[in-house]
Amino acid sequence: MNYEECIELARPRIGKYCKACKECNGKACGNQIPGPGAKGIGDTAIRNYDKWKEIRVNMDTIAENGPVNTSLELFGKKFRYPFFAGPVGAVNLHYGDCLNDISYNDILVSSCAEFGIAAFTGDGMDGNVMVAATQAIHKAKGLGIPTVKPWNMETIRKKMELVHASEAFAVAMDVDAAGLPFLKNFEPPAGSKTVEELHEVAKEAGAPFIVKGVMTVKGALKAKEAGADAIVVSNHGGRVLDQCPATAEVLADIAKAVDGSMKIFVDGGIRSGTDVFKALALGADAAIIARPFVTAVYGGGREGVEAYISKIGGELEDTMKMCGVSDLAEITEECIWKN
Ligand SMILES: Cc1cc2nc3c(=O)[nH]c(=O)nc-3n(C[C@H](O)[C@H](O)[C@H](O)COP(=O)(O)O)c2cc1C
């Protein structure tokens, strides 16, 4: 199966909101929530996608004609490629109900681990989602990253017990979920976290702690002060605040300010191995791709995930070769051209 076939197979299964577009660029879903769209006028996801396309890559084939090494070492684990599957929660609400968060994460976590990368899992209003996600991660020998919502401390502690039992190699919190309409006025309460509160969470984590949802240098430095080991430069695919800049627009300044003191992931509209290459050139250690993995799982299950990973990985290898670099450390700002 290739990813094109997977998209065709996904279309009748993926529900009424997602159109399983050939290019997942935020246009057809617009501001459709429930559904995979963005908040407000719905153009932040589109901007995320478009801004990667404005960055061009510098070709250089006057170089050694050898194999390229795409492998990444992160928090003591080795991965085949520098990209991960992003967390997506409430799939039966936003996509089709032939899967739910439990069956979705089961397929995603095991397939990503099998094919050399790892998946982040989402958290849900239903406590069983985190229970099942952490069980799936445990089955995958800890190769997965549970993403805990910014609940109150008591709830976070309970979720962290599940995380510890899963032996997950890292754990994340999507602090920007404070902006999700459905989390407002919910019990247990969830919302923004102060540096001190995040510090508490980092201490509870018991594994490298990743703060997801940072869009400014100031935010990155606050995450660092809180003791984060990594951040995800992310605007949650436009779903938490209308009119954010694209992640490609803020990444380089954040990476420069962080200056290697934390690992940096980035997500939002990354749709090809060439985009992954650009993300690394702007200073990220790894990229995260979320929505297209949903299409992969709905369309092809384990085989769909395999097809998608090999598509993105193959494009990355090709771009590296054509830009004259042989491993990830050689992908620097010199490899890209910006207008
Ligand atoms: C339907 C849907 C549900 C999501 N659920 C979560 C979630 O539970 N936790 C989280 O951290 N991010 C969640 N996200 C955000 C994604 O992880 C990611 O940050 C965002 O979609 C941008 O990446 P993309 O453009 O590759 O999709 C969700 C996104 C979508 C579309």
| Residue minimizing CA distance to atom 13 of ligand 1 | 88
* Helix, strand, or coil (residue 77): strand
Among 145, 154, 92, smallest CA distance to 122 is for 145
Determine how many CB atoms are found less than 10 A away from the CB of residue 32. Answer: 16
Q: How far is the CA of 325 from the centre of ligand 1 (A)?
A: 31
List of residues 6+ apart from 326 with CB closer than 8 A: 63, 64, 66, 67, 68, 69, 320
The residues of the chain scoring below 50 in pLDDT are none
* Helix, strand, or coil (residue 179): helix
Q: How far is the CA of 121 from the centre of ligand 1 (A)?
A: 10
Q: Is any ligand 1 atom within 6 A of the Cβ of residue 313? A: no
Tell me the H-state helices in the chain.
Answer: 3-10, 44-54, 91-94, 101-114, 128-139, 153-166, 195-205, 217-225, 247-258, 273-281, 291-322
Q: How far is the CA of 236 from the centre of ligand 1 (A)?
A: 5
Region of residue 324 (left: phi > 0; alpha: psi -120 to 50; beta: else)? left
Q: Is the bond preceding 67 in cis, omega lying within 30 degrees of 0?
A: no
Q: Is any ligand 1 atom within 6 A of the Cβ of residue 39? A: no
Q: Is any ligand 1 atom within 6 A of the Cβ of residue 122? A: yes
What is the structure's pLDDT at 5?
98
Q: What is the rounded CA–CA span in Å between residue 336 and residue 264? A: 18
What is the structure's pLDDT at 137?
98
| Mean pLDDT, rounded, of the chain | 96
Counting from 1 in the atom list of ligand 1, the atom nearest the Cα of 172 is 11
